[in-house]
Amino acid sequence: MIKWLLFDKDGTLLEFDETWSEISLVMIDRFVEKYHIDHKQSLQEELGYVNDRFLSSGILASGTLSDIINVFTKYAQENDKQELEKWTVQLSKDLISEYEPETIVIEGLLDTLKAFKDKQYNIAIITSDDIDGTERFIKDAGVEHLIDEKITASINGYQKPNPKMVEDFYKKWDVSPNEIAIIGDTPTDIQMGKNAHFRAVVGVLSGTGNKEDLADADYIYQDINEFYKQEAEWNK
């Protein structure tokens, strides 16, 4: 029986704000300019921006700032890695402050999460974002009272789809993979669920992934609202 629901954040609970796309492309432009990078197109493609679209499995759509830094380091090998990391982290903060992306939640989010809580499910957010971004979302969305745990990535920590990301979570809450469902919108979320052997691996089409991207999921629904309505199917 499933007791815990692990929701991805961006694209699953939070609608994709086009502002984030602009921030990503500006970050690339600033990096290319500062470090005199000659191969901008190959850099973009390695980060998951191909033919003017963001790939659902790409770093910009489902990776972390650490992943971006690793790619930047590859393209600016002759520069000091620590300085580049410091510069990228600061640039990310500056761009978020400058562009002020909106917190636009999936329609029905509050009611659906409350309905899950009323049924005695525990709810966690599992995200490639850091703790600051995750807590900002929780506050802006007004769901503090509905979230039991936050599982986030950090510059030096584990991240999806590495199952070690949830080892401390298991110990803290005395929970096993067989009691968990993961819900996400990218192939990385699906692979996380498979790697960790969660009881149910659920894809939703509310973010960047399509049915082909999420083909390895046990179940695919339009969004978390349909996921709730189909409880009898995924929690047997």
Please give the angle made by the CA atoms of 11, 14 and 20, to the nearest 5 degrees.
75
3 and 236 Cβ atoms separated by less than 8 Å: no
Model pTM score: 0.85
CA distance 134 to 149: 11
Q: Which of 226, 222, 225 is nearest to 108 (CA)?
A: 225
- Helix ranges (H only) for the chain are 18-34, 40-46, 59-62, 65-75, 81-99, 109-118, 131-141, 167-173, 187-196, 224-229, 231-234
Q: How far is CA 194 from CA 81, 102, 146, 151, 222, in A?
A: 33, 32, 26, 17, 20
Are 44 and 50 within 8 A, CB to CB?
yes
pLDDT below 70 — which residues of the chain?
17-19, 154-156
User: Residue 2, class by beta-carbon neighbours within 10 Å (0-12 exposed, 13-18 middle, 19+ buried)?
Assistant: middle
Give the model's pLDDT for residue 119.
97
Rg (CA), the chain: 18
> pLDDT at position 74, please?
95
Contacts with 61 (C-beta within 8 Å, 6 or more apart), sequence order:
11, 48, 54, 55, 186, 208
- Answer for the pair 87, 102: CB distance below 8 angstroms, yes or no: no
Going along the chain from its start, the domains and CATH numbers come out as 4-15+104-234 (3.40.50.1000), 18-99 (no CATH)
Phi-psi group of 194: left, alpha or beta (phi > 0 → left; psi -120 to 50 → alpha; rest → beta): alpha
What are the pLDDT digits (tens) for 170-222?
Answer: 999 999 999 999 999 999 999 999 999 999 999 999 988 899 999 999 999 99
Residue 155 confidence (pLDDT): 54
Q: What are phi and psi of 82, to 5 degrees?
A: -65, -40
Residue 18 has, within 13 A of its CA and on its CB side, a CA count of: 1
What pLDDT, on a 0 to 100 scale, did the predictor assign at position 141? 93
- Tell me, what's the pLDDT at 17? 63
Provide the pLDDT for residue 18.
67
Q: Which residues neighbour 203 within 8 Å (Cβ) at sequence distance 6 or greater?
A: 183, 184, 185, 189, 190, 209, 211, 213, 214, 217, 219, 220, 221
Reference 57, options 227, 207, 221, 225; nearest CA is 207
Q: Which of 189, 185, 186 shows the shortest CA–CA distance to 198? A: 189
